[in-house]
Amino acid sequence: MTALFLDLDGTLLEIAATPETVVVPPALPVLLDHLRALLGGALAIVSGRSIVTIDQLLKPFKSAAAGEHGVGLRFDDGTTEEMPAGLAVPEAWRDSLRTLAERWPGILIEPKQHGCAVHYRLAPERHDDVWKAVRALVPDDHPLFRLIPAREAVEIGPRATSKGFAVERLMAGSPFRGRRPIFVGDDFTDEAGMSAARRFGGEGLRVAEMFKGDPALVRGWLANNAERLGGRPLPQRMSAGASA
């Protein structure tokens, strides 16, 4: 039996100019709910967004989930876990980043409960400036926080967790335990989740390689293979062209 771990932005949803302008296809929550039922609950959304935001975007669908790259976890039975509990980016750092956004048009700050992301998609020429600024706040050897590269963005988040950690925690319990995990993702942060899935005998599918970088093909693959995903493990390697 299969377990599905799905990234959100860039995997199920097309990347938008800003986090707030992302578009959720109306059929997606229905598709995810169908897949979750076929998998007996063994479907999790694993995202850099918070679990609250995941639920808002995919409403009324709700499942096991990992938010902020594994800092927040919700299990299939609805219980939640925060790891490490209470750790959050200092307010002084947030103030510093907000000052940058005021100084540099096009820089957007996405505050999160535990971390903070800086988006420069609308001002790509500020790439070096943004990275210099966040490195000044979070050196490589900082004991509690790390810099997380993303698509035309960089995030400050707790060092103790990752999407790989989220997969491991969810795979330890019902209904994921003993299943073959498939992790689908598009970004640097998804690599840890893919590696964890492989350690459990599963697959890590990169959107760029398997689905031509197109979330619509990911959604099509999920819809076209729903019964297979719910009924038996997938082959070791798959062709997006054949299955999307």
Q: How confident is residue 117, by pLDDT bands cut at 50, 70 and 90?
A: very high
140-163 residue pLDDT tens: 999 999 999 988 999 999 998 999
- For the residues 231-240, what does the mean pLDDT come to? 41
The CA–CA distances, whole Å, from 104 to 21, 45, 130 equal 20, 33, 10
Lowest mean pLDDT among 121-125, 146-150, 152-156, 240-244: 240-244
Say what percent of the chain tops pLDDT 70: 94
The sheet carrying 108-111 orders its strands as 108-111, 116-119, 153-158, 145-150
Higher pLDDT among residues 242 and 40, named by residue: 40
pTM: 0.89
pLDDT at 85: 74
Query: Do 207 and 215 form a contact (C-beta atoms < 8 A)?
Result: yes
Set 7, 9, 55, 76: catalytic member: 7
Structure confidence by residue, pLDDT tens digits, 53-92? 999 999 999 999 999 999 999 999 999 998 877 889 999 9
* Mean pLDDT value across the chain: 91
Please, which pLDDT band fits residue 232 given cuts at 50, 70 and 90?
Answer: very low
Whole-number pLDDT of residue 234: 41
| Mean pLDDT for the stretch of residues 187-207 | 96
| Three-state secondary structure of the chain | CEEEEECCECCCECCCCCHHHCCCCCHHHHHHHHHHHHCCCCEEEECCCCHHHHHHHHCCCCCEEEEHHHCEEECCCCCEEECCCCCCCCHHHHHHHHHHHHHCCCCEEEECCCCEEEECCCCHHHHHHHHHHHHHHCCCCCCCEEEEEECCEEEEEECCCCHHHHHHHHHCCCCCCCCEEEEEECCCCHHHHHHHHHHCCCEEEEHHHHCCCCHHHHHHHHHHCHHHHHHCCCCCCCCHHHHC
Summarize the confidence of residues 99-110 as an average pLDDT. Answer: 94
- Looking at residue 239, its pLDDT comes to 34
7 a catalytic residue = yes
